[in-house]
Amino acid sequence: MILLCSGEVSAKHFDALLMFAALLESCGHNVTIDARYMPEDVLKPQKYEAVPFLVDPEDIGADTILVIGAEAISRESQVILRSLNLGPDASIRAIGCFADYQGEINARNKIADATGRDPTLHNLNGSRTPALLEGACTPLVTRIAAEPEQSAGKLSRVLVYVPCDDLEDQNALNALAATSFSPTLELHVLTNAKGKDLIRRSRHAELSVFGYSELPPADIVNFVDVIAFFGTNVPGERMAALTMAAMGAGKVVIDCTTSSGFANTGAPVIKGPEDISVFSSYLHEVVTRNRLEIGHRTLQSTWLKQFDLTVLERDLEITATSEVSTPRPSQIIFFPTNGNGLGHAQRCALIAEAMPNELNRRFAAFPSCIDMLENRGFECVPMISRSAHHTDEYAADLVNSLRLRNLLRAGDRLVFDGGYVFDSVYRTILSRQLSAVWIRRGLWRPGQINPTALERERAFSQIIVPQEAFAELNADYSTCPRVEKVGPIVRQTTMTNEDRQNLRDRLSVEFDQTVDTLAVTMLGGGVASDRTSQTQLLCSLFEQRPNCLHLIVAWPNARISSGLYGWKNSHVVQTSQTLALCQAADLTVSAVGYNSFHELLYAQVPAILIPQSAPYLDDQERRARAAADRGLAALVAETDLLTLEREVFAFLEGDKAENLRKALGDEVLPALGNQAAAKLIAQGGGQ
């Protein structure tokens, strides 16, 4: 076990610790970072990077202490080093950029004074040719691949670093946009947060953009075959680390800086145009057709071999762990997002059930849906739900990112179902280099359709979009070639008249009352939209009917008004058998979420639909109106209580329910997509 420490407690040194830890881990080392080196003002992306490595002082049990940035050992760092409870065999290693021998002596004395042990020192300056960025705290070394790690085929993945100031020139944005339309290029732009915001507000908001510190260099490099840098010089340690990783992987690095800052070090880069307007032509004429050959030459570079991580490992006498993880079959992990109901988990369960039994299917699931999934035979790894008690709003997701990292290995598939891709999901896919699937239903509201919501689809090898029942409700939100459309994913059960009566008889026994009229209300959990007034009205109406049983379905996280428990004929229930209840009911009143809406349609259940209207939900009103306009359901606005009362009377005293049932029987609906989605996931897909 290696414990990483640093010469200073600062944002710069902590960032260096994160990047070096990720590099060492990727090469098989067991690495931790003393949590006391994390500054108070650490950025959100850095917290996600740090989660796998941070260790509290009382849990430290390392056999090797490795100090980076040792050319500047601060008093604060000495205090931390002095407090380490080291075993008798623990060794101290230190890395720094020492200007002279006196600098090495000073560092050695400070570390020895703090730990009581003489450290082994490694000078990054040494006798090597100029480093990519002189004086960097991060050890700028890399693992050197045997062959170029580039994508096969004619499509070249290109990452272009452009400083924010350059992006303020509209011509630069136009040039990038024009380059992105090339059928042989997959273009990504890399810039700082201000530059990313500038692009998002421009008319070229569809560009794929990475923030400077959004992902660690070790993950960004997996997106590219070619990386180009514009600006004046090497733009800091993160970009220098990214460049080293790219060269070590046999990628093509293009130096388009005005100072030739990369090329002047002797690094195996090629000099490109400083004018971004001619960059596209340069790529096609010089680079893309020769990128594999350039990658081979890069890996043979004498300059690069001086910065081989294996040289540093040898000099520091550190060896990657020889532990081999226990072999196991690859697995498919479904991760439904934490909705207020069970819709996402229900959809994933339907797809998983449609897959061959020999496939190893498991769930990473939130507490609200674990019981339902386990009752259907699926093993679940519990995820942490968001809570108002957490210090950070993303604290739960930080824990979930660690759980996903521990759960998944290369060769597994992750299937995520949700509208927004969590950081934990996005980062795990990239760090584990997984083949992943995003199940993304549509019918978004206009404000939800934006590049920020869609940009994370670039991490997925497949995006499966379950369609709506009616054509006017389907829309294309992106032009990603990996998008696959399937029919509606719907739970179906067959219920005969005998089954219907048997269920009603069981309910009569369960609630100890005669059931001449059965009504079911499913208006959501009360989190998205408060439906207390509508539910109370229904309770009042059903209280007046003799031998009426009114069941109010409550989801696991539902907010239930205490006033609903005082009625004689109305009862709050928690159940996953909602479809069977609706099929047996004389009246169903429902919200218009994807699952409940399509289940009612395909089961030919007449219903009164009351859309929920929270801004983060899909457009339930459009969905309900499409059915009502076809005469397949009754639509009641959330504030229209008089219409709700009239519709209840029309269903129970008139012939409206029967007329709707006949119309539903005559309607031709699209074929279900359960099997198609299962087949796509089982077959896999490449990025």
Segment 236-281, tens digit of pLDDT: 999 999 999 999 999 999 999 999 999 999 999 999 999 999 999 9
Q: Which two tokens stand for residue 419?
A: 């509208």
Q: Which two tokens stand for residue 278?
A: 């001619």
Per-residue model confidence (pLDDT) at position 222: 87
Lowest-confidence region among 123-127, 137-141, 234-238: 123-127
Domain boundaries, the chain: 2-123, 156-306, 332-489+674-683, 497-666
Span 417-441, pLDDT tens digits: 998 899 999 999 998 989 999 999 8
User: What is the reported pTM?
Assistant: 0.90
Topology (CATH) of 497-666: Rossmann fold (3.40.50)
H-only helix segments in 27-100: 44-50, 75-83
Per-residue model confidence (pLDDT) at position 75: 94
Q: Is the pLDDT of residue 686 over 50?
A: no
Has domain 156-306 been given CATH number 3.20.20.140?
no
Short-list 106, 139, 74, CA closest to 313: 139
Is the Cβ–Cβ distance between 415 and 332 less than 8 Å?
A: yes
Q: Is the pLDDT of residue 525 over 70?
A: no
What is the assigned CATH class of domain 2-123? alpha beta
Q: Is the pLDDT of residue 141 over 70?
A: yes
What is the DSSP code string of 589-613?
A: EE---HHHHHHHHHTT---EE----
Per-residue model confidence (pLDDT) at position 179: 93
Any idea which architecture 332-489+674-683 has in CATH?
Answer: 3-Layer(aba) Sandwich (3.40)
Angle at 193 (CA atoms; ends 187, 199), nearest 5 degrees: 50
Angle at 655 (CA atoms; ends 649, 658), nearest 5 degrees: 120
Span 36-75, pLDDT tens digits: 999 988 889 999 999 999 999 888 888 899 999 999 899 9
Span 560-598, pLDDT tens digits: 777 888 899 999 998 888 999 999 999 999 999 999 999
497-666 shares the fold of 2-123: yes
Q: Is the pLDDT of residue 615 over 90?
A: no
Angle at 245 (CA atoms; ends 240, 250), nearest 5 degrees: 125
Per-residue model confidence (pLDDT) at position 336: 95
Q: Which two tokens stand for residue 669?
A: 């609906």
Q: Is the pLDDT of residue 528 over 60?
A: no
What is the DSSP code string of 172-205?
A: HHHHHHHHHT-TTEEEEEEE-HHHHHHHHTSTTT
Q: Which two tokens stand for residue 300?
A: 């043979």
Short-list 29, 49, 25, 43, CA closest to 427: 49
Q: Is the pLDDT of residue 639 over 90?
A: no
Q: Is the pLDDT of residue 444 over 60?
A: yes
Exposure string (b/e) for 621-649, b if CB count within 10 Å is 16 or more?
bbbbbbbbeeebbbbbebeeeeebeebbe
Q: Which two tokens stand for residue 105?
A: 């002596």
Distance CA 145, CA 149 (A): 7
Mean pLDDT confidence for 458-481:
90
Is the alpha carbon torsion for 23, 25, 29, 34 positive or negative? positive
Q: Count CB neighbours of 565 within 10 A.
A: 11
DSSP type of residue 430? H
